[in-house]
Amino acid sequence: MRAIHLLLLLSACACGAQDKRVVITIDDLPCANCAEGTWDQVTDDLLRTLKAHRVPAIGFVNESKLYRDGLLDSTRYQLLERWLQAGMELGNHTFAHLGATSTSAADYEQDVVHGEHHLRPLMERSGRELRYFRHPFLQAGATPQRRDSLNAMLAGHGYTIAPVTFDNDEYIYAYCYEQARRALDDSLMNRLARGYLMYMAQSVLFHGSQARDFFGREVPHILLIHANALNAAELDALLFWHEEQGYNFITLEEALKDTCYALPEATTRFGFSWIRRWQLAAGLQPPWPPEIEPDVQQLYDRLRR
C-alpha cells in the first residue's frame, strides 16, 4: 500500500521514456549499523526481496565488519556466502571504509588490499572474479592528479570502479530508523519509512531528469543503497516503485558498457553523483538534489551527538 501511495503522489512526474535501466548496488556489507542479532534477518530479507524482483544486485563489502573483538566471525563471513549463493555479485568497498580525501595514497591502497583478504578467495572458490570497487563516501580523488593516481592503483589491482548516478543520503533515514527500532518506537519507524520512500522517489526522479537533459536520452543508472534494517523492510516497495516507473534491473557490467561512463568527470572532495560530476566537467552549474526532510536531518544530528 505504501508503494501504491507513492505512485499516486508522483504519477504526474513519471517519465514515459523507454530503455529505462538501473543497477541496484548495496554498500557496507555484510550489515550497516545493524544491531547484534539482526544481521541474519537483514541479509535474508534483502536477498529474498532481490530474488523476488529478479534483481542481479551487487553488494560492496567492508571486511572490517567480518571481525568481532579482533577475530574473524564465521557467522558474518557466511553472510557473504549467502549473497553468492543467491546469485548476487560482491565487490570491494575497502576494509575500514576510509575516505580518499583525508587518507594518504599509501594508507588508502593498504585499505583496498586489506579489503580483499577474505573476499577474493571467497569469490574464486565460487568460480567468480573480484572485479568491482566502490569508493567509500564516493570520494574518488579531490584533484585530477589524485583521482588519476587512485584510478591507476585500482586498475593495477584488477578493479573496475563502480560509479553512482542515483545518489542519495538514505543513510540518514536508515540511522534514525535503526535507533527507533532499538527503542521499539513503531510510530517513528513508520514515519521514517514513509519519508524515506518519498525521498528516494524524488531523488531518482531528479537524477533521471538531470541525466535526460544532459544526454538527450535515457542512460543506464546505478542506484546506491546500504545493507541496513530500513532497506530490509522497505526494499520491496522501493523496487516496486522503480518497476512502475518502467525501470528494468540490470547488472553493473551491462550498465558500464554505455558510453556515458567514459565521459570526463569533475574531481571533488565530496561524494557527488556521477551525473553532477559530468555536468561540472562540462562547465555547467547543476541544481542541488532533493534534501532530507528538515526534522529528519535534525533528528539525525541530535542522535549522532
Summarised one tens digit per residue, pLDDT across range 6-33 is: 444 444 344 444 699 999 999 999 999 9
Query: For position 16, what pLDDT does the model report?
Result: 46
Q: Does the pLDDT value for residue 116 go beyond 70?
A: yes
Query: For position 240, what pLDDT does the model report?
Result: 98
- Report whether 64 contacts 97 (CB < 8 A): yes
- Report whether 178 contacts 35 (CB < 8 A): yes
pLDDT tens for 225-268 read: 999 999 999 999 999 999 999 999 999 999 999 999 999 999 99
Query: For position 231, what pLDDT does the model report?
Result: 98
Question: For residues 170 and 162, what is the distance between their CA atoms, to the nearest angstrom?
Answer: 18
Phi and psi of 59, rounded to 5°?
-105, 140
Residue that wins the pLDDT comparison between 75 and 5 = 75
Share of the chain above pLDDT 90, in %: 94
- The predicted model scores a pTM of 0.94
Q: Going from the N-terminus, what domains does the chain have, and what CATH number goes with each?
A: 17-169+217-282 (3.20.20.370)
- Would you place residue 194 in the very low, low, confident or very high pLDDT band (cuts 50, 70, 90)? very high
Residue 303 CB contacts under 8 Å (≥ 6 apart), including other chains: 175, 176, 179
CA atoms within 13 A on the CB side of 284: 14
Query: For position 87, what pLDDT does the model report?
Result: 97
Phi and psi of 262, rounded to 5°?
-100, 0
Question: For residues 99 and 138, what is the distance between their CA atoms, to the nearest angstrom?
Answer: 8
Q: Does the pLDDT value for residue 196 go beyond 80?
A: yes
